[in-house]
């Protein structure tokens, strides 16, 4: 290696026109970090308020649509989709794309799955999915509603990373996907955590906003009662839900669904059938076992996971003398059988992150839908007018077919024939081109009648499209009708139950309401003794153990009370 030499000559410099710019380190770091932060916020971590998708999810769905991987087509290897997404739109790691696609196919992650997966796509126990060379995927049926009419100029398009292809900046979603499937993302200096909701409830809320734009949060909560997690569970209380819907931030306490089951001789076991959202079942079982071994949880004699393809079933057998309610309350307090879901309703509005309440999110979605309907109608109108224009020319030609045939036969080439037709009948270039390409079978009476019927139908459509574009009320009615149609096709019952309850544990929940004897001695000593142990004195006896005092002391007061009384 050549020795370091500071005495450079001009001819030694490979690029003689280069120059060095001096910059303040603090300014340079601040500028660079802000650019990086905005790139992460806009281009990676946060969903768009309109379609509820991050760029990677949008690219996965669009690539599947582009490749014809719709719900009615056969499955294809996941590697095919991942490779196409990487090569065309998302130049990042293949693991990041595959992990994002896997999540869209997990019934315990998505309330309404957008990808139909075939093979091992992971489990609620935290098992990883199989490698993408083994699994297969295609779009789920409901995902088709996110891309419907995408080719009718309903959205804006941008260029991909190398400016060679066009990609959608947002999808023309017919379902309010941001609220329905929720979103989780960690950006720079901010994070979003939007819970999933029930499709029927959210669409009912959308309809309520369309009917009354001045509706209040109370009105909306008559339709959207709260989050609806794919794993079910029981939501404790409504105060956190109200706070989240009113301000965009709140906390929701979710409990596992449990039931008591008798077995053996007067024995009870706790059966867990649903867990809080995003709780790993195998880790929960291990944590409970560790707590039992460390004597932090008492009253449990056996623990096992009996889950199968029929559903979840975690069995917690209790000791003979254990109080089932007390053990269950301790499980809720000390394990993830009760978990808190922190809601932050943050999404991108015009590429700027914003925390929104429920009404704002619904309004942004409905404005997007109104825009989609208007742009789609404008596209359909243009297509109808173009076709009507051609039909006008064809019908003129059919009315003067002998002269048209004569002009075409006596023209030296196609261009001269088109010019002659334009001059003779006052046709446009498009009309004359259609006439020269007309087939002989279109000269039959039946074909002429078909063209006339088609034109009459086009005239009716053009009138309708113009009416829609001239009326905002008609556009909103179309949005409303399409939402109702989506609700009929995909709406289902709630999975998460909401119960009225205090969000804090009551200390009384951790011990039984047994009867006790309280004794207070002359010297001020107070003692609590279970009533069953406090025996009456027999003849010739020395008194019950429960009432023993010091030699110079004696019992002055005796009370009988329960453990849940206040003294």
Record the tokens describing residue 509, joined without a space.
Answer: 């929940």
Q: Please say whether the beta carbons of 436 and 442 come within 8 A.
A: no
3-state secondary structure of 486: helix
Q: Among the options 36, 134, 161, 559, which is catalytic?
A: 134
In 3D space, the residue among 411, 400, 567, 376 whose CA is nearest the CA of residue 482 turns out to be 376
Calculate the CA 31 to chain-centre distance: 33
Residues paired with 253 in a beta bridge = 236, 340
Give the pairing of strands 157-159 and 166-168: antiparallel
Q: How many helices (H) and strands (E) would you count in the chain?
A: 17, 20
Contacts of 53 (CB under 8 A, 6+ apart): 47, 61, 146, 171, 177
Q: 106: buried, middle or exposed (CB in 10 Å: 19+, 13-18, 0-12)?
A: middle
Give all strands of the β-sheet with 257-263 in edge-to-edge order. 257-263, 267-274, 314-318, 300-305
Q: What is the rounded distance in angstroms from the CA atom of residue 135 to the CA atom of residue 112?
A: 20
How far is residue 167 from each of residues 85, 213, 281, measured CA to CA in Å? 11, 33, 39
Which candidate, 494, 497, 499, places its Cα nearest to that of 198?
494
Report how far residue 406's alpha carbon sits from residue 404's, in angstroms, rounded to the nearest whole number.
5
d(CA 78, CA 83) in angstroms, rounded, equals: 9
Query: How far apart are the two ends of the chain, measured CA to CA in Å?
Result: 88
Active site residue 134: yes
User: Is the separation of the CB atoms in 78 and 118 below 8 Å?
Assistant: no
φ, ψ dihedrals at 562, nearest 5°: -100, 165
> Which active-site residues does the annotation give?
134
């Amino acid at each position: 290696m050549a020795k370091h030499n500071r005495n450079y000559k001009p001819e030694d410099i490979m690029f003689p026109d280069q120059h060095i710019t001096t910059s303040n380190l603090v300014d340079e770091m601040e500028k660079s970090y802000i650019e990086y932060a905005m790139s992460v916020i806009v281009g990676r971590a946060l969903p768009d308020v309109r379609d509820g998708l991050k760029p990677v999810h949008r690219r996965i769905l669009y690539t599947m649509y582009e490749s014809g991987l719709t719900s009615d087509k056969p499955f294809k290897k996941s590697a095919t989709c991942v490779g196409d997404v990487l090569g065309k739109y998302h130049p990042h790691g293949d693991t990041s794309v595959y992990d994002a696609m896997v999540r869209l196919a997990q019934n315990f992650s998505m309330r309404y799955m957008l990808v139909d997966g075939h093979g091992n796509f992971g489990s609620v126990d935290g098992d990883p999915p199989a490698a993408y060379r083994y699994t297969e995927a295609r779009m789920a049926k409901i995902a088709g509603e996110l891309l419907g009419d995408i080719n009718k100029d309903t959205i804006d398009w941008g260029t991909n990373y190398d400016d060679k292809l066009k990609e959608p900046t947002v999808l023309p979603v017919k379902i309010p996907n941001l609220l329905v499937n929720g979103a989780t993302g960690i950006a720079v200096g901010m994070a979003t955590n939007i819970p999933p909701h029930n499709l029927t409830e959210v669409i009912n809320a959308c309809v309520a906003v369309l009917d009354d734009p001045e509706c209040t949060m109370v009105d909306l909560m008559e339709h959207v009662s709260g989050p609806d997690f794919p794993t079910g569970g029981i939501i404790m209380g409504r105060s956190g839900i109200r706070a989240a819907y009113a301000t965009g931030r709140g906390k929701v306490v979710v409990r596992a669904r449990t039931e008591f089951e008798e077995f053996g001789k007067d024995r009870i076991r706790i059966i867990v059938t649903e867990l809080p959202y995003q709780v790993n079942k195998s880790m929960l079982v291990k944590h409970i076992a560790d707590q039992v071994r460390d004597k932090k949880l008492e009253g449990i004699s056996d623990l096992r996971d009996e889950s199968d393809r029929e559903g979840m079933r975690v069995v917690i057998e209790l000791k003979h003398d254990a109080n089932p309610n007390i053990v269950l309350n301790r499980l809720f307090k000390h394990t993830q059988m009760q978990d808190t879901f922190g809601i932050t309703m943050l999404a991108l509005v015009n590429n700027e992150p914003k925390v929104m309440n429920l009404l704002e999110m619904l309004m942004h979605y409905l404005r997007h839908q109104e825009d989609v309907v208007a742009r789609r109608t404008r596209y359909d109108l243009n297509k109808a007018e173009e076709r009507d224009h051609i039909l006008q020319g064809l019908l003129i030609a059919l009315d003067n077919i002998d002269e048209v045939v004569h002009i075409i036969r006596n023209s030296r080439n196609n261009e001269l024939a088109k010019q002659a037709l334009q001059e003779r009948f006052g046709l446009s270039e498009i009309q004359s081109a259609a006439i020269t390409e007309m087939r002989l079978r279109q000269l039959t009476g039946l074909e002429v009648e078909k063209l006339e019927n088609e034109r009459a139908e086009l005239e009716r459509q053009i009138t309708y499209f113009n009416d829609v574009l001239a009326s905002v009320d008609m556009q909103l009615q179309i949005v409303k009708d399409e939402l109702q149609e989506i609700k009929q096709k995909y709406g289902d019952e709630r999975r998460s139950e909401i119960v009225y309850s205090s969000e804090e544990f009551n200390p009384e929940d951790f011990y039984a309401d047994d009867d006790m004897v309280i004794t207070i001695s002359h010297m001020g000593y107070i003692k609590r003794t279970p009533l069953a142990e406090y025996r009456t004195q027999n003849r010739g006896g020395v008194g019950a153990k429960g009432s023993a005092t010091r030699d110079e002391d004696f019992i002055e007061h005796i009370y009988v009370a329960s453990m849940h009384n206040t003294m």
